A and B are shown apart, each in its own frame.
Chain A
Amino acid sequence: MIEAQGLTKRYGRKAAVSGLDFRVEPGRVTGFLGPNGAGKSTTMRMILGLDLPTSGTVTVNGRRYQGTVWPLHQIGALLDARAVHPGRSAYNHLHSLAAANGIPRSRVEAVLDQVGLTPVARKRAGGFSLGMAQRLGIAGALLGDPGILLFDEPVNGLDPDGILWIRTLMRSLAAEGRTVLVSSHLMSEMALTADHLLVIGQGRLLADTPLNELIARDAANRVEVRAVDHHRLADDLRTLGGDITLKPDGTLLVTGLDSASVGELAAARGHVLHQLRDVTSSLEDAYFRLTENSVVYRTPVPA
């Protein structure tokens, strides 16, 4: 389990992460979601004791990372797939990390096999494609057979096969009872992989919630309705407390009322409806509404 309390990191006067409180629980994939620059990587580096918090604490299995004697048995991390010496072979890269935690060579061969790099184990890592480098990074994370795994943007730059492989791996690691924290700015990927979400924007925690609930909560009380006389229906719905947006095709988007209340009102007032449906929300929608006010680098949307 990973636990953060009041975790804050400032660079000069700018806060990269401020006052994060969260727990990452075992047995599920926790998605760490946020736009670029939101503080995801900073948080992960603090979990691993690489960056020191300005204030607050973060512990791994109840202990500060720096106080862990054989950390690879507790937590394995993929931070940056390119963080290898380009002249060192995949095998020797893993062997040097394994040796640092007293992990035998047989385990190096086992993880190479698990990620499918055995045929290129003796090749220089500098010549690896991004996909192979990601696999090497994941092999490094798995070396100590740890109960906690951190993956920072693991599917970046991967082909569909690679993405599917990582998704399946993360799901099976969580199914084995491990704690899995995976950061991404790819909402579609999170929707397929995560059970639970930590949403972060401008260094602050915006949501700590099961994936389903985040989507459900966002979709709740949003109804699309098409009526013959949409102007009169809009007026009637407003009196009931609904917030109405009129789309160009005459469809009304109603927020604040559920489909039952809209249908009952329509029947009571004699409206002829052509369509009445709940609006399903995607994770993407939910995410944008959460981070609307916290995007650091927003590009102007062409009109």
Chain B
Amino acid sequence: MNPTLPAERRHSMPTRLRATARSEWVKLWSVRSAPTVLAATALVIVAGAFVLCSGYRSGWASMSASEQAAFDPTFTSLRGIELAQMLIGALGVLAVTSEHGTGLIRATLAATPQRAQLLTVKGLVLGAVVWALSTASSFAAFTAGRHLLTGPVPHASLDDPGVLRAVLGGGLYLTLIALFGTALGALTRSTPLGLTTLFGVLLVLPLTAGLLPGDLTDTILPYLPGEAGSQIWHVKPPSPHSLTPWHGLSLLTLYVAASAAAVLTLHRKRDA
């Protein structure tokens, strides 16, 4: 009856955005799934460094000279990201589809009818949390690898060329994957469909591309979203056809931006 709003608050855009962000922040932390998945992500990234680095240390002597020359200690320490990206991507998908599955989206949109703003802020809140956590986890994994790769096994230091970029790149890559998952969730509005699409793009596409005849693999594989984006946390390029780290990350950013644009265009016309 008596909207107790200070008049100056009514049409101020920053205030509106802050309110949406606060709401999404409360939602993120008030169910068990997000904190659990985020904790699991940190664990997978750090544990990956322990498992892989101790494996290389014990098996180093039996590796061929070319394998030893291609060894990338930074990438090996960070390689838990390959598993972590599935968790983070799924978290992004579920951030949207869980609201559609329960019907909560109607209450959410009734409180925030600005759909483009709602989805953008939802992605940004999740993205910021994922960035902070996965950047910290990448540093932790790198530090663990640094201590485990001893003796004859080469190790990297943050001062070496490209190493700091790769460690920071782990956080950037997973943030983009979280946003990609969020966009897929908003496009499909269905948990099974969203997850299938996500895993299809991140797992099945690279595997399929790898099965193609050599030339075709080299033409297609480097441009797939996961393969392109993951160059940012490599120090040595895995293949001569790989994109450079920043080109690869830019291409992944482009994929994410395109899916976000599709979401924002469609959302104007779709019924909730």
Interface residues of A (CB under 8 A from B): 45, 48-52, 65-75, 77, 79-80, 82-89, 92-93, 95-97, 99-102, 140, 144-147, 176-178
Segment at the interface with A among B101-109, B160-168, B185-193: B101-109
Chain B residues, Cβ within 8 Å of A86: 102
Asked if B30 contacts A178 (CB within 8 A), the reply is no
Contact A100:B272 (CB < 8 A) given known A69-B10, A72-B110, A85-B31: no
Chain B residues with Cβ below 8 Å from A74 are: 3
Cα–Cα distance between A65 and B269 once the two chains are bound (Å) = 15
Contacts of B3 in A (CB 8 A): 70, 73-74, 144-145
Minimal beta-carbon separation of A63 from chain B (angstroms): 11
5 interchain pairs, CB-CB under 8 A: A73-B5, A100-B112, A102-B5, A102-B9, A102-B15
Interfacial chain B residues near A50, Cβ < 8 Å: 106, 109-110, 271-272
| 8 interchain residue pairs of minimum CB distance | A83-B103, A100-B23, A92-B30, A73-B3, A100-B111, A99-B22, A51-B271, A50-B272
B54, CB-defined interface residue at 8 Å: no
Report whether over half of chain A's contact residues are helix, strand or loop; otherwise say mixed: loop
**Does B19 count as interface, using CB distance less than 8 angstroms?**
yes
User: Which positions 21-58 of chain B face chain A at CB distance < 8 Å?
Assistant: 22-27, 30-33
Task: Give A178 to B1 CA distance when docked, in angstroms.
Answer: 7
Query: Are A66 and B30 in contact, with the CB atoms below 8 A?
Result: no
New A-B pairs, 6, CB < 8 Å, besides A48-B113, A92-B27? A45-B271, A50-B272, A74-B3, A85-B31, A93-B30, A147-B1
- B74 → A minimal CB distance (Å): 38
Q: Which of B229-272 contact A (CB under 8 A)?
A: 269, 271-272
Given contacts A50-B271, A145-B1, contact A101 B111 (CB under 8 A): yes
A37 to chain B, nearest CB (A): 17
Nearest residue, chain A, Cβ from B112: A100
Q: How far is it, in angstroms, between the C-alpha of A253 and the C-alpha of B15 when the chains are bound?
A: 67
| C-alpha spacing A246/B19, complex, angstroms | 68
Q: How far is the CA of A100 from the CA of B111 in the complex (A)?
A: 6
Q: A83-B102, A96-B23, A97-B107 are in contact. Are A177 and B1 (CB under 8 A)?
A: yes
Known pairs A82-B102, A145-B3; A69 contacts B110 (CB<8 A):
no
B155 contacts chain A at the CB level, 8 A cutoff: no
Cβ contact within 8 Å between B102 and A84 = yes
Q: Report how far A73 CA is from B102 CA in the complex, Å.
A: 24
Which residue of chain A lies nearest to B12 when distances are taken between CB atoms in the complex? A69
Most buried by B among A51, A74, A101: A101
A97 touches B106 (CB 8 A): no
Using an 8 Å CB-CB cutoff, how does the interface string of B76-116 with A read, 1 for contact, 0 for none? 00000000000000000000001100111011111111110
Known A48-B110, A51-B272, A83-B107; contact A100-B102, beta-carbon cutoff 8 A: no
Residues of A within 8 Å of B25, CB to CB, are: 99
Q: Does B20 contact A (CB under 8 A)?
A: yes
Write the chain A residue with the least CB distance to B121.
A100
Quick check: is B62 within 8 A (CB to CB) of the other chain?
A: no
Given the complex, which residues of B lie within 8 Å of A97, measured CB to CB?
23, 107-108, 111
Q: Does B64 lie at the interface of the complex (its beta carbon under 8 Å from any beta carbon of A)? A: no
Shortest C-beta distance, B216 to chain A (Å), equals 42
Query: Are B19 and A99 within 8 A (Cβ)?
Result: yes
In the bound complex, what is the Cα–Cα distance between A30 and B22 (angstroms)?
35
Q: What's the nearest-Cβ distance from chain A to residue B20, in Å?
A: 6
A79-B106 contact given A100-B111, A178-B1, CB 8 Å threshold: yes
CB contact under 8 A between A101 and B31, given known A51-B271, A69-B11, A80-B106:
no
Tell me the complex Cα distance, A100–B17, Å: 9
Instruction: With both chains docked as a complex, state the minimum distance between the C-beta of B99 and any C-beta of chain A, in angstroms.
Output: 8
Chain A neighbourhood of B110, CB < 8 A? 48-50, 71-72, 75, 77, 79
* CB closest residue in chain B, given A83: B103
Contact A52 B271 (CB under 8 A): yes
Q: Is B66 an interface residue (CB 8 A)?
A: no
Establish whether residues B104 and A70, one from each chain, have CB atoms under 8 Å apart when the complex forms: no
Given the contacts A69-B10, A100-B111, A101-B111, A95 and B33 also touching, CB distance less than 8 Å: no
A67 to chain B: which residues have CB within 8 Å? 113
A80 CA / B115 CA spacing, docked (Å): 20
Cβ of A100 and Cβ of B20 under 8 Å apart?
A: yes
Would A99 and B23 count as touching, CB distance under 8 A? yes
A73 to B19, CA, bound (A): 14
A83 and B30: CB pair below 8 A? no
Bound-state Cα–Cα, A211 to B201, Å = 58
User: A88 CA to B114 CA in the complex, in Å?
Assistant: 24
Residues of chain A lying within 8 A (CB to CB) of residue B107: 79, 83-84, 97, 140
Are the C-beta atoms of A100 and B19 separated by less than 8 Å? yes
